Amino acid sequence: MRRSTARWAMALLALALVTSAGAAGSGPLALKAGLFEPPRQAPDFGLLDSNGGELKISHYRGKVVLLAFGFTSCTAVCPTTLNTFAVARRKLAAAAADVQVIYITVDPQRDDSKRLKKYLGGFDPTFVGGTGTQEQLAAVRKDYGVSAEKQVLGDSYTYEHSSFTYLIDRSGRIRALMPYGHSPDDYVHDLTLLLQE
């Protein structure tokens, strides 16, 4: 009787350990970025990429995507963000092969494919840019909750635009949003976790 009780106790203990281990493993990721729960599928789009081909987010399933919006004449936010991505990719070394940066312009008037390619190449030649018509880009921004407001400055203009970055996992789900200003190390931390999934 006593032996049978002890066996039951051992079995229950083992079950509890297995259950708790599983629970810990399936918990939310401890990211530096803001985490979405539940994650939603990243809306797909059809834009022109900086190599002259079609840009669809679904082409990058299997990779972790950093998706940002901006424009090549931006002097404040975009150079910092893109440089942060470039440094993070270098730090990731071989693992960076599974990380794709996509940068979609909010300024199609100036940012054609060639200009995007040249601009992004200055940071990292693997970065891909996206452009299209005003209407196409406005529709993409609406799907992703991105704002961009044109501001005229004399003969020229600039844009006030959302400065965050979406982190999209290998399954094409929007997992997190990284606010502007985070360090390359924060990106390395989060990308490493997402790449391990």
Partner 1 sequence: MTRARWVIGSILAAASVVVLAVAGFSPIQGGSRDRIFAIPKGTWARRMAGDKVEILPDHIRLTLGVRDILVLRNQDDVPQIFGPTLMMPGQSFRLPFERAAEYTFACTAHASGQMTIVVEPNPTTPWARVRWRLVEFLSTFR
**Cα 33 to the chain's mean position, in Å?**
10
Considering only residues 28, 151, 152, 196, which one is a binding residue for partner 1 as defined by CB under 8 A?
Answer: 28
**164 forms part of the interface with partner 1 (CB under 8 A):** yes
Angle at 127 between CA 101 and CA 88, to 5 degrees: 60
**91 forms part of the interface with partner 1 (CB under 8 A):** no
Question: Nearest Cα to 105, choosing from 145, 74, 126, 151?
Answer: 74
Q: What's the min distance (Å) between Cβ of 177 and partner 1?
A: 5
* Residue 169 token pair: 């996992």
Containing H/E element for 100? Answer: strand 99-105
**44 forms part of the interface with partner 1 (CB under 8 A):** no
**36 forms part of the interface with partner 1 (CB under 8 A):** yes
Nearest to partner 1 of 34, 53 (CB atom): 34
Sole window of 57-65, 89-97, 119-127, 157-165 interacting with partner 1 (rule: CB under 8 A): 157-165
Sole window of 25-33, 82-90, 100-108, 150-158 interacting with partner 1 (rule: CB under 8 A): 25-33
Nearest to partner 1 of 30, 93 (CB atom): 30
Q: What's the min distance (Å) between Cβ of 7 and partner 1?
A: 39
DSSP 8-state secondary structure symbol assigned to residue 135: H
**177 forms part of the interface with partner 1 (CB under 8 A):** yes
Considering only residues 81, 105, 131, 163, which one is a binding residue for partner 1 as defined by CB under 8 A?
Answer: 163
193-to-26, 60, 84 alpha-carbon distances in Å: 13, 18, 18
- Cβ atoms of residues 50 and 116 within 8 Å: yes
**165 forms part of the interface with partner 1 (CB under 8 A):** no
Query: Number of residues in contact with partner 1, rule: CB under 8 A?
Result: 20
Q: Is the dihedral of CA 52, 53, 57, 60 positive or negative?
A: negative
- Cβ atoms of residues 52 and 127 within 8 Å: no
**33 forms part of the interface with partner 1 (CB under 8 A):** yes
128-to-10, 65, 113 alpha-carbon distances in Å: 56, 11, 10
Q: Which residues bind partner 1 (CB under 8 A)?
A: 28, 31-38, 40, 144-145, 147, 160, 162-164, 177, 179, 181
